[in-house]
Amino acid sequence: MTDTPDPKAPVTGAEVLAAGLDDWRLLFRAIHARYRTGDLATGLRFAQRVGEAADAANHHPDLDLRYGHVEVRLRSHDVGAITSRDLALAATISTIAAESGLDAEPAELRLLDLALDTAEAAQIMPFWAAVLGYVPSGQGDEVVDPGGTRPGLWFQGTDAHEEPRQRFHLDVFVPHDVVEERIAEAIAAGGTLVDDSEAPSFWVLADAQGNKACFCTWQDAAD
């Protein structure tokens, strides 16, 4: 006899991988899938079936319906984390996609976050929340879009300084199994690898003028 998983217990990245959800990738704090539909009508039919399954499970994903593809995002909002409910609904959605003849496109998934270097996050977070209409995420020095559709803004600690230097940089979350390919493409396009000491959590790259961006995955930094 196996114990029933606590539906509100957060699951780890390793547990997401072990679930065998080949269509899905963990990006930041949610699991994502993208399906190629080819046309809008097919996407609408797929979205309707996903909606019916979500209502039956009383657990609802975020859907982004576009011409040619549908992206699905799952996260337990009442917990603020991924749970067994998300994994179960993800498996159901994968079955619906297979029955609909839709191919998953995990390598096309990406998530953009913004980071602002500051020595005093508390001093400027309220301003940026007001400007963007965001709210605190409750998980560190970060403000997020209440609707969940726009990039988050987090405040990265740095030493105090007076001289002008780069303050914003882009954090680009990509699937863990394509990050090395993305890094190679960026380097081939004229970039340089600045720091990989926190890999596979993130890699720091810079363009030819020294402007930085990070490729990030769900994984923890290696010891």
Say whether domain 13-108 belongs to CATH 3.40.930.10. Answer: no
Q: For 92, phi and psi rounded to 5 degrees?
A: -65, -45
Mean pLDDT of 189-197: 94
- In CATH terms, are 13-108 and 111-216 the same topology? no
- The CATH number given to 111-216 is 3.10.180.10
The pLDDT, as a whole number, for residue 80 is: 85
Q: What residues does each domain of the chain span? A: 13-108, 111-216
What is the pLDDT, as a whole number, of residue 1? Answer: 42
> For a pLDDT cut of 90, what percent of the chain falls above it?
67
* Residue scoring higher pLDDT (5 or 189): 189
* Highest mean pLDDT (candidates 76-80, 98-102, 141-145, 153-157): 98-102
Mean pLDDT within 57-62: 95
For 117, the token pair is 């270097």
Of residues 103 and 112, which shows the higher confidence score? 103
Mean pLDDT of the region 7-28: 94
> Going by C-beta distance under 8 Å and a sequence separation of 6 or more, which residues neighbour residue 96?
46, 49, 50, 53
Give which of 163, 162, 179, 161 is closest to 171, Cα–Cα. Answer: 179
- Above 80 in pLDDT, residue 2? no
Compute how many other C-beta atoms are within 10 angstroms of the C-beta atom of residue 187: 12
pLDDT band at 77 (very low <50, low <70, confident <90, very high): confident
pLDDT confidence of residue 36: 98
| Bigger pLDDT: 170 vs 70 | 70
In this prediction, residue 134 carries a pLDDT of: 92
Report DSSP state, residue 10. Answer: B
Q: Note the pLDDT of residue 163.
A: 67
The pLDDT of 73-96, averaged and rounded, is 95
Least confident piece of the model among 79-83, 130-134, 194-198? 130-134
Q: In this model, does residue 51 exceed pLDDT 80?
A: yes
